């Protein structure tokens, strides 16, 4: 398992370096004029701003300095507010991370049980209700879904705050603490989770129905294994593999949908910061957001790879071990063929 983790971590580092190269090309090799945004730095030219960010000189030197600054979390100052960009990202990042992490937990709590029960009781009432749930979840836009939840659960039922955000930690005079932080995120979590729970519910159902008819599952039942053990050890372990694969492909959509969710509920996260920086053409903040989001996606992909390796031992074995296994399987047949060629 450890060599597999090391390999995946090295690939994550390579991917992150590639992302920084693309970011450098987009933001520093393509000309940009900060004066067009009418910001507080409008009196500066592009070359002045590049010197203030300490990335002047040949291209290879500029990229080296840019990579060094990214490694140390230094992105200069915002053109719009003249604040340190690292501090701005540090204020917005916990909000987005809380939204994505909590939404993923809600997604698991909804999709996995409903998908399993629908597969175990096909064409039942629960299965048909799950189909309706899937259709609504796939068709709904995050803005529409957030407004519907805000109206019924926030405005009508007064169960949760409609907008705003409270820090998990902070001074006693401000809105802070777990009991004030969590209610402000319940509606965003539900909105975020419903976007994916509907699709993955049907995916888990289809994968379980396909796996439950495999020969090794019937063999386990024939040996006297209990239904729960068959489901947990033999069915879910293999049925979740395509789900994890699709999950790794949808990580970019998580971040893009977070922009809509944060906008609907007024959360001061990276998504809302991104839209504001785009309108102001605040290049240092945009650059920092791209690097932060890329780092987040690379990290989540690494987690998904580790989960996939834990579910499927063949992934951890690697290509060389798989080739050895195929060679050991082919060896007896080759020996039999040679023995048949020998005269009696």
Q: For 37, which DSSP code?
A: G
Same domain, 50 and 144: no
Query: Is 183 contained in some domain?
Result: yes
Report the alpha-carbon distance of residue 190 to residue 200 in Å, rounded.
15
Question: What is the DSSP secondary-structure string of 144-160?
Answer: HHHHHHIIIIIIIS--S
Same domain, 30 and 113: no
Domain limit, last residue, from 36, 71, 106: 71
Same domain, 62 and 113: no
- Tens of pLDDT along the chain (344 residues) come to 677 778 888 888 888 888 888 887 777 766 555 444 444 444 444 555 566 566 666 777 778 887 887 887 788 788 788 888 888 988 888 888 888 888 888 888 888 888 888 888 888 888 888 778 777 777 888 888 889 999 999 889 889 988 888 887 765 446 777 888 888 899 999 988 888 888 888 888 888 888 888 888 888 888 888 888 888 888 888 888 888 877 777 777 777 788 888 888 988 888 888 888 888 878 788 888 888 888 888 888 888 888 877 777 776 665 444 434 443 434 444 433 333 344 43
Identify whether the C-beta of residue 180 lies closer than 8 Å to the C-beta of residue 93: no
**CA angle (315, 317, 323) in 5-degree steps:** 105
For residue 190, give the nearest of 157, 165, 153 by alpha carbon.
153
Same domain, 280 and 186: yes
Reported pTM: 0.76
Domain that holds residue 16: 2-71
Identify whether the C-beta of residue 1 lies closer than 8 Å to the C-beta of residue 316: yes
For the domain that residue 103 is a member of, what is the CATH number? 1.10.3720.10
CA atoms within 13 A on the CB side of 252: 3
Identify whether the C-beta of residue 126 lies closer than 8 Å to the C-beta of residue 118: yes
Same domain, 103 and 62: no
Query: Is 76 contained in some domain?
Result: no
Report the alpha-carbon distance of residue 261 to residue 268 in Å, rounded.
11
The values of phi and psi at residue 56, to 5°, are -110, 155
For residue 34, give the nearest of 22, 21, 23, 49 by alpha carbon.
49
Q: For 74, which DSSP code?
A: -
Same domain, 96 and 14: no
**C-alpha pair distances (Å), 177 with each of 35, 99, 170:** 41, 16, 8
Query: Is 322 contained in some domain?
Result: no
Same domain, 230 and 273: yes
Same domain, 126 and 201: yes
Query: Is 110 contained in some domain?
Result: yes
Query: Is 337 contained in some domain?
Result: no
CA atoms within 13 A on the CB side of 52: 16
Query: Is 210 contained in some domain?
Result: yes
Count of structural domains within the chain: 2
The values of phi and psi at residue 277, to 5°, are -70, -35
Same domain, 194 and 116: yes
Query: Is 81 contained in some domain?
Result: no
Same domain, 180 and 47: no
Same domain, 16 and 61: yes
Same domain, 147 and 214: yes
């Amino acid at each position: 398992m450890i060599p597999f983790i090391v390999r995946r971590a090295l690939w994550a580092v390579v991917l992150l370096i590639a992302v920084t190269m693309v970011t450098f090309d987009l933001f520093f090799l393509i000309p940009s004029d900060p004066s067009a945004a009418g910001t507080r730095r409008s009196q500066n030219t592009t070359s002045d701003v590049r010197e203030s960010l300490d990335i002047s000189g040949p291209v290879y030197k500029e990229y080296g300095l840019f990579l060094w600054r990214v490694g140390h979390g230094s992105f200069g100052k915002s053109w719009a507010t003249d604040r340190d960009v690292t501090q701005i990202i540090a204020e917005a990042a916990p909000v987005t991370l809380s939204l994505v992490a909590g939404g993923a937990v809600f997604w698991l709590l909804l999709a996995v049980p409903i998908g399993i029960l629908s597969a175990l009781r096909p064409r039942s009432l629960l299965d048909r209700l799950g189909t309706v749930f899937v259709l609504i979840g796939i068709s709904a836009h995050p803005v529409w879904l957030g407004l519907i939840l805000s109206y019924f659960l926030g405005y009508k039922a007064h169960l949760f705050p409609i907008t705003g955000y409270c820090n998990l930690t902070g001074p006693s005079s401000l809105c802070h603490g777990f009991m004030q932080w969590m209610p402000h995120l319940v509606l965003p979590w539900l909105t975020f989770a419903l976007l994916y729970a509907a699709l993955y519910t049907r995916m888990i159902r289809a994968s379980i129905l396909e796996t439950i008819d495999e020969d090794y599952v019937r063999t386990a039942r024939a040996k006297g294994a209990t239904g729960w053990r068959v489901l947990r050890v033999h069915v879910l372990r293999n049925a979740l593999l395509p789900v994890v694969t699709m999950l790794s492909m949808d990580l970019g959509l998580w971040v893009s949908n977070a922009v809509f969710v944060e906008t609907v509920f007024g959360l001061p996260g990276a998504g809302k910061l991104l839209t504001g920086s785009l309108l102001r053409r605040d290049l240092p903040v945009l650059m920092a957001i791209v690097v932060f989001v890329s780092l987040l996606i690379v990290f989540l992909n690494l987690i998904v790879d580790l989960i996939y390796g834990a579910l499927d031992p063949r992934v951890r074995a690697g290509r060389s071990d798989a080739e050895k296994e195929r060679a050991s399987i082919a060896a007896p047949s080759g020996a039999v063929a040679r023995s048949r060629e020998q005269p009696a």
